[in-house]
Copies of this chain bind each other. A is one copy, B any other.
Amino acid sequence: MKDENVLKRLRIIEGHLKGIIRMVEEDTYCIDVIRQVQAVEAALNKVSAQILEGHLNSCVITAVQGEDPAERQRVLKEVLEVFETSTKV
């Protein structure tokens, strides 16, 4: 799923994370650091949603329309699992 848009977002997040590391190295006020960590998490949620969107519109359609019921079940179960994890992180 090489997706230039996803890559671009992830590299921005990487830069954001490097900035947080610098903040901690420079003894920045704790709450400001936590706020930036939370901003990174919000950005990661958006990346996940974007990847999932691509996945639903490609692999999920292929598997659900395919002939193999086990593969269909596997793919739908994975979607359910990422949903379940998303309620816990």
Which A residues fall within an 8 A CB radius of B?
A: 1-3, 6-7, 10-11, 13-14, 17-18, 20-21, 24-31, 33-35, 37-38, 40-42, 44-45, 47-49, 51-57, 59-61, 64-65, 72, 76, 78-80, 82-89
Q: Per DSSP, are chain A's interface residues mostly helix, strand or loop, or mixed? A: helix
Min Cβ gap A24→B in Å is 5
Given the known A-B contacts A18-B14, A41-B89, are A1 and B30 also in contact in the complex, defined by CB atoms under 8 Å?
A: yes
A45–B84 Cα distance when bound, in Å, is 8
A57–B25 Cα distance when bound, in Å, is 20
Min Cβ gap A85→B in Å is 5
Q: Is the CB of B87 within 8 A of A49?
A: yes
Min Cβ gap A77→B in Å is 8
A52–B34 Cα distance when bound, in Å, is 8
